[in-house]
Every structure is written in C-alpha cells, then in structure tokens.
Amino acid sequence: MAFDSCVNGRHIGPFFRGAWGAIRQYDFSSVGTMGINLKGQIVMKNLVLKGALAASALVLLANAASAATLDDVKKKGFLQCGVNTGLPGFASPNDKGEWSGFDVDYCRAVAAAVFGDPTKVKYTPLSAKDRLPALQSGEIDVLIRNTTWTLSRDEQGFDFTGVNYYDGQGFMINSKKLSGINSALQLSGASVCVQAGTTTELNLADYFKANKMEYNPVVFEKVEEVNAAYDSGRCDAYTTDQSGLYAYRLALTAPDDHIVLPEIISKEPLGPVVRQGDQQWADIIRWTHYALLTAEELGITKANVEELAKGDSPEVKRVLGQEAGTKLGTDLGLTNDWVVNIVKAVGNYGEIFDKNLGSGSPLKIARGINAQWSKGGLQYAMPIR
C-alpha cells in the first residue's frame, strides 16, 4: 500500500487553487458553479449557467406557490418540530425519550391546532449550527428552539412568527470561587465559555469591546460541551441567554455556588421560525402564539376551557370559535375549535410558562418582561376576531 497520492494529487492541487482564485475574483450570484468546481469536473460556460438559473427561477416560482406546509403536515399526519438538543425548561428529553419544556409545549400547541391532537408531533433535536439549515432543507416544518429574531436571519429566507420569550444575554459565575464579583463589568481578563456560531458569541465580543475589557473566549460547538467546560472550571464565566443560564445551572455539580449576574447585555427575542414564502403556515404558528396569550388574558385555562366554551361571554365564545357561522378557524386552514384544542392540550401561555420555567419548575424564573402587557410585561396578543 505505497503512498502515492501526491502523484495523482498533483492534478488536483493546482486545479483547486486555480478555481479558488477565479472564485475570489468573481462574486457569483449563484453558488451553483461551486458545485461543479467542488466535484472537480467540467466547469460550465457562464451562459449555460445563467440560462439554467433563469429556467430554474421559473420552475421555482411555481414551486414556491404550491409549497403548502400545512398540506404536507396533514398528509404526513404529524408535525416535525425542531427543538433544542437539551435545554431544561425549554426542550429536553427524559429517560424514556419523552420531550418536555416550554418550546416543546409550543410544538404540541401547533399540533393540537392542526390535528386536534397534541401527540401528533415529532421532535428533531438540533444544535445551534444545524437548526437553520434543517429548516431550510425542509427536514422540519417549524423551528421552535430559542432562536433569536434578527434582521439577517429574517432576510435569509426565514420568517419569525412572533416572540414567545423575551430573553437577554447574561453571565453566570461561580460566586464561591470569585466572591468579590457582582457585576459583569468586573469581568475584564476573564475566560468566558460560549457556544460557537450564536448571536451570543457576537454580543459577547461587542460587549467587552464597548466596555474596553479583555477576555479570553472558550468556544464550543455544543451546549453539553460548554456546560462541561464551565463546570470543570475551564472558564470564569458562562454567557448565554439568561433563561438558559438558569436552566444550565441546574445541571452543574454544585448549582448553589453559581450566580447569574444582573447585567443583560443584549436583546434576545426568541420565537418560532418558519420558511419564508408560506404565508398560511406562518399565520398558523403566529396565531397559535396569540391564542395562547389571549387565553391567559381571558382567564381560559386547561381546566375550564370546555366549560367556558359553553358559557356566554361573547369575547370568550368568539375566541373559542363558538360563535354561530364563525369562519376564523377555517379561514386559517384549521377547524373552528382550534383554540379549544390548543388550550385543552397545553393550557394557556401563563400555564406553560409556570409549568416549565416559572414557579412550578425547578428553574423558578420570574415572569418579568414576559408578563402580559396589562401587567407591565411585553406579551401582547393581537385580537382574535
């Protein structure tokens, strides 16, 4: 098995380097050509490519218009929901592989809205890096995985359908080892653990730069690796969304030794994401969120929803689709009792929050800015009428 790849490799090396130069020069409007170079095959004429581009654009328009996720989901018989690989409180599997959490309940709510059955959902655990490509490729129908709504993501072919959790990036430190520190501004010179390829990583860089502090980033691909590194003392501080800090703290060796510093260095509006170009599907996800909020506002809970549906408050009856001749649900592509299905399955927004993140959970996160607008928070549902 003599090694002689260099002999043959010689054909490849210069070819690739040449191609690389050409590509650097010409900012292709299409990545397609890359496919060719990568395969190391014939490089096509530009003309052919442009023709192909135009032709495929036509095919595409037709395609996009007919790409109805709702129909696909109904045909499949279940919702494919992209969730976190394991963030207690938001999405994590138990020993038996059953998923639970705030985001998971949103998946179940969508399934309840579409099928009337919250169990018709399958979960795809996704890392920060995989999540958007997975949505893009159609592997999942909706991404509910604490994803921050940003302009660049919005314009990259995704649609955010609302904010189900207003979060902000914070820092956690080991207060036992670093007893003198009670502000993020004292962290100059610290090693900071952060997950790779997230907005968190960018905010961290901006924050330390803006405050003229130095730091040493310790970057990992996966949350589990960040946790393990922080727990082993590799870093002085751990930064991610504050909700995440509370969640990860639970999985540390000595959770009580760690404190979350008060500073919030970024706005992290987390929400469900869908592919751009399917208005109907985006609407369903958006209004599922509003239905959950509206239910809390109107005092509709998992326990009393059936009873209230039979009651006589006109607003409640309208929301729950009990008005005669209502078309609110069917116009959305669902049944008219969709809100009943949702609330019966998972409860209202407040119940989901309490059960997974708030007082009813080990995380004990205060409602804070996630309270209803009427209680000083930011959660504001558009009227269902």
- How many CA atoms does the CB half-sphere of 232 hold within 13 Å? 8
Of the candidate residues 84, 85, 288, 356, the single one contacting other proteins (CB under 8 A): 85
206 binds other proteins per the rule CB under 8 A: yes
Could you tell me which stretch among 252-260, 311-319, 329-337, 343-351 binds other proteins (CB under 8 A)? 252-260
196 binds other proteins per the rule CB under 8 A: yes
State residue 343 phi and psi, 5-degree precision: -65, -40
Looking at residues 331 to 370 of the shown chain, list those that interact with other proteins (rule: CB under 8 A). Answer: none
63 binds other proteins per the rule CB under 8 A: yes
Residue 8 token pair: 């043959």
Report the DSSP pairing between strands 258-260 and 169-174.
antiparallel
Which DSSP string do the residues of 190-250 spell out, in sequence order? EEEEEETTSHHHHHHHHHHHHTT--EEEEEESSHHHHHHHHHTTS-SEEEEEHHHHHHHHH
Left (φ > 0), alpha (ψ -120 to 50) or beta: where does 269 sit? beta
Of the candidate residues 65, 185, 202, 303, the single one contacting other proteins (CB under 8 A): 202
Binding string, residues 145-164; x marks residues near other proteins by CB under 8 A: ----------xxx-------
Q: At closest approach, how far in Å is the CB of 211 from other proteins?
A: 13
All residues at 6 or more sequence positions from 233 whose CB lies less than 8 Å from its CB, including other chains: 174, 177
- Residue 1 vs 151, nearer CB to other proteins: 1
- Residue 234 vs 364, nearer CB to other proteins: 234
Q: At closest approach, how far in Å is the CB of 6 from other proteins?
A: 3
- Residue 255 vs 383, nearer CB to other proteins: 255
Could you tell me which stretch among 187-195, 265-273, 306-314, 343-351 binds other proteins (CB under 8 A)? 187-195
- Residue 237 vs 381, nearer CB to other proteins: 237
Stated as kind and residue range, the H or E segment containing 273 is strand 268-275
42 binds other proteins per the rule CB under 8 A: yes
Is-contact 99 113, C-beta < 8 A?
no
116 binds other proteins per the rule CB under 8 A: no
